[in-house]
């Protein structure tokens, strides 16, 4: 069994409410969601769209249930926005996460993403954006910078490869990992997205 001093089990709220399609699970409240997570034995969770925006209130509700925030999704736009703007948004997210006692942040590049566009096929038709070499350089350099900002705050930046984005397949994920600083950029390994992409190992 897991060593509970070294391995902690968390869960995303997507099983209760969906950020991309809020109508899925619209009837489930924040308190119901985190209560059922705790009853199922989880001690951590990500932040969903129904969670309190006040970090003090969020921490209070999680403390009552013996839970903590494991991470939070951050949408980066390193290809389509000035780096300084992305970094400022990133720091605001780190401030929030620090206030609730978290030390991980999940980053997904959303420039040119077709995620959430239900009228656009993800796997066929060539709709997914593919970066050129210059864009790869800009993207990886930006990730390194964000990762070093995170590390300086005691966080790990965990990159989330995701369907419909510029880093979807295992080949794209490998290229991203090979061209970023392993001490600044880590991987949120999502078996579901790799399986759906058809690029499992």
Quick: pLDDT tens for 24-35.
Answer: 888 999 999 999
CA distance 92 to 166: 24
**What's the structural domain count of the chain?**
2
pLDDT in tens, 120-179: 776 666 678 999 999 999 999 999 999 999 999 999 999 999 888 999 988 999 999 999
> Which of 68, 87, 112 delimits the end of a domain?
68
CA distance 171 to 200: 10
46 and 100 part of one domain: no
139 is written with which tokens? Answer: 């993207």
> Which of 43, 68, 93 delimits the end of a domain?
68
76 and 148 part of one domain: yes
CB 146 within 8 A of CB 186: no
pTM higher than 0.75, yes or no?
yes
Mean per-residue pLDDT over the chain, rounded: 91
138 and 78 part of one domain: yes
40 and 91 part of one domain: no
124 and 201 part of one domain: yes
Residue 200 pLDDT greater than 50, yes or no: no
**Residue 39's domain spans which residues?**
1-68
> Which of 68, 94, 115 delimits the end of a domain?
68
Which CATH number covers residue 195? 3.20.20.150
The number of angstroms, rounded, from the C-alpha of 67 to the middle of its chain's C-alpha atoms is: 19
């Amino acid at each position: 069994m897991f060593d509970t001093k070294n391995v902690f089990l968390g869960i995303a709220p997507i099983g209760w409410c969906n950020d991309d399609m809020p109508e899925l699970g619209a009837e489930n409240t924040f308190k119901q969601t985190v209560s059922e997570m705790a009853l199922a034995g989880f001690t951590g969770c990500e932040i969903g769209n129904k969670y309190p925006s006040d970090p003090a209130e969020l921490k209070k509700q999680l403390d009552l249930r013996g839970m903590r925030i494991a991470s939070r999704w951050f949408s980066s736009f390193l290809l389509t926005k000035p780096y300084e703007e992305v970094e400022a948004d990133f720091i605001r997210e780190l401030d929030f996460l620090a206030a609730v006692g978290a030390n991980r942040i999940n980053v997904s590049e959303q420039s040119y993403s077709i995620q959430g566009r239900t009228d656009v096929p993800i796997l066929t038709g060539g709709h997914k954006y593919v970066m050129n070499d210059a864009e790869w350089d800009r993207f990886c350099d930006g990730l390194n910078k964000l990762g070093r900002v995170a590390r300086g705050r005691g966080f790990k930046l965990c990159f989330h490869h995701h369907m419909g984005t510029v880093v979807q397949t295992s080949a794209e994920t490998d290229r991203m990992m090979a061209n970023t600083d392993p001490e600044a950029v880590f991987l949120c390994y999502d078996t579901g997205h790799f399986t759906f992409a058809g690029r499992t190992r």
